[in-house]
A and B are shown apart, each in its own frame.
Chain A
Amino acid sequence: MANETVHAKSSPLLIGAAWLLVILPAAWGLNYTVRNALKIFTAGNTAAAAPK
């Protein structure tokens, strides 16, 4: 490399912000899905209690 420029290391804040940007929407979707998914276990209890 002919052009030797000194660059700072990536800021941990910048790295944290980048991760937050993708984690937040994913966490929102995950929360929504988990709340819906819990219904299956209610169904499981119903099935276990149901007479054969």
Chain B
Amino acid sequence: MALSFLDRERSVAHEGYSRWLVPPAALAIHLSIGQVYAFSVFKNPLQALTAADGSHWDLKSLGYIFSIAIAVLGLSAAIFGAWLEKVGPRRAMFYAAICFAAGFYIAAIGADTHQIALIYLGYGVVGGVGLGLGYISPVSTLIKWFPDRPGLATGLAIMGFGGGALIGSPLANQLMAHFKAAGKPAIPSTFLVMGTLYFIFMMFGVFTIRVPRDGWKPEGWSGTNKVSALISTHSVAVGQAWRTPQFALLWIILFCNVTAGIGILEQASPMIQDLFKGSVGKDAAVGFVGLLSIFNMAGRFFWASVSDKLGRKTTYFTFFTLGAVLFFVLPLSRADHLNSVPLFVSIAVLVISMYGGGFATIPAYLKDLFGGYNVSAIHGRLLTAWSTAGIVGPLIVNGILDHYVANHMSKQDAYPLILHIMSGLLVVGFVANLLVRPVDAKHWMKDQTLAPVGGGH
């Protein structure tokens, strides 16, 4: 078979292979697919495109592109998680690269021929499958390479997803400006170039990723990280894991954390301009969005690494207590109260760092509870919480804002209500986290005690 180099057996690391080559491979994938967070840079240019009949796309239709991509991310992660465990990370990353690049190419045709359905199909559905496969494929491999520091390892990779926008946004802007100046169709050309560049970058990840040999463990590591009673010494198969109360509780935890974060991210630019009318303009709002991206990225690494020391439950306890308080007091910083932009920005970036931290810490939480055997597949199913939050979060935010505008009330007054609802959601997450207990022994796999690493082969 021409593609046999993608087989799991061909990607087993030789003796002496450094585990520090694995995070760059994972980062190449996550920095690429994290471009989805920067999709909004295409919104205005896409809206400016004119069809043959002179019509334009409205913002609502364009907003569906991102929503479809995120929904398909969660669904494909849930559907393909078990397959990924079987075929290994290299093959999954290869198909992720093909889907992600193909999504750009199909969307380029859609932009060129002014057919939004093709952009939905390309960037949303095909690209979304690439997002889902790419998101989960390096996670369990990293956990197997870093059993001594699983939080740090998954934090590194998932930090890349948060950081993808930092590359994707300026890259898209500069490519569009270049093609516009050259008199070429800016968006289709940019999509084609980005699809190709990301494919090449992701191939670096495909060829660098390795799975550890059976029985491998880091030098000097005893084989246990006992900092919490929640850490299981046994594995639970995916088919059993998702029926446990622990899975439901973690689903609620992720859902609440993501929905609350989206409450800020979804409206970051208009929110700061509305709350500080006259003192924060468009340019400064763009800067605010950039700051949020940086802290979203940094929080993924910082909090996930800290969770190796604190334990996952304590880390989420911090997110949900501190987060609920910060969301509640955030509206007090606005222009007609304390009138402090620095205070508003400081609270918002801290809250967003915990939003990112929530994403990055969840794989290690799953590994603690369910063992490493099926962690990718279980993680994939858990990501449906993200898809749901991606729909519910904007629905809450936009629904309240629309209600205020329709009733001729000030939009500025809608934000405290939105932020207080998000604070309430974090309290729900707090309760769910509090209820997490070790998985009952009846769910453990009967014939397998967790090997230090490589147990999922």
Most buried by B among A21, A40, A42: A40
Q: Which residues of B contact A26 (CB under 8 A)?
A: 27, 31, 160, 163, 166-167
What residue of chain B has the Cβ atom nearest to residue A44's Cβ? B341
What residue of chain B has the Cβ atom nearest to residue A41's Cβ? B342
Interface residues, chain A, with chain B CB atoms under 8 Å away = 5-10, 14-15, 18-19, 21-22, 25-26, 28-30, 32-34, 36-44, 46-48, 50, 52
B183 at the interface (CB under 8 A from A): no
B284 touches A40 (CB 8 A): yes
Q: Which residues of B contact A15 (CB under 8 A)?
A: 18, 20-21
B438 at the interface (CB under 8 A from A): no
- Whether A10 touches B21, Cβ cut-off 8 Å, given contacts A26-B166, A29-B163, A47-B276, is yes
B342 touches A22 (CB 8 A): no
Q: Which residues of B contact A44 (CB under 8 A)?
A: 340-342, 345
B288 touches A40 (CB 8 A): yes
B287 touches A48 (CB 8 A): no
B281 at the interface (CB under 8 A from A): yes
Query: Other than the known A18-B24, A40-B272, what 15 A-B pairs have Cβ atoms closer than 8 Å?
Result: A10-B20, A10-B21, A15-B21, A22-B160, A26-B160, A28-B170, A29-B163, A29-B168, A30-B166, A34-B294, A40-B288, A48-B340, A48-B341, A48-B342, A50-B278
- The distance in angstroms between the C-alpha atoms of A6 and B15, with both chains bound, is 8
A33 touches B18 (CB 8 A): no
Interface residue tally on B, bucketed by range: 35 or more
What residue of chain B has the Cβ atom nearest to residue A46's Cβ? B279
B335 touches A47 (CB 8 A): yes
B24 touches A25 (CB 8 A): no
Q: Report which of A5, A28, A50 forms a contact with B279, defined as CB distance below 8 A.
A: A50
In the assembled complex, how far is the CB of residue B259 from the closest CB belonging to chain A, in whole angstroms? Answer: 25
B169 at the interface (CB under 8 A from A): yes
Closest 8 CB pairs of A and B: A29-B166, A43-B284, A44-B341, A10-B18, A47-B279, A39-B287, A29-B167, A9-B16
What residue of chain B has the Cβ atom nearest to residue A32's Cβ? B170
Q: Report which of B17, B287, B339 forms a contact with A37, defined as CB distance below 8 A.
A: B287
B341 touches A43 (CB 8 A): yes
B204 at the interface (CB under 8 A from A): yes
Which chain B residues in 13-57 approach chain A with CB under 8 Å? 14-18, 20-21, 24-25, 27-28, 31
B374 at the interface (CB under 8 A from A): no
Most buried by B among A33, A42, A46, A52: A33
Q: Report which of B169, B272, B280, B341 forms a contact with A29, defined as CB distance below 8 A.
A: B169
Q: Which residues of A contact B291 (CB under 8 A)?
A: 33, 37, 40
- The distance in angstroms between the C-alpha atoms of A31 and B419, with both chains bound, is 31
Q: Which residues of A contact B284 (CB under 8 A)?
A: 39-40, 42-43
Q: Report which of A7, A38, A42, A46 forms a contact with B17, defined as CB distance below 8 A.
A: A7
In the assembled complex, how far is the CB of residue B39 from the closest CB belonging to chain A, in whole angstroms? Answer: 15
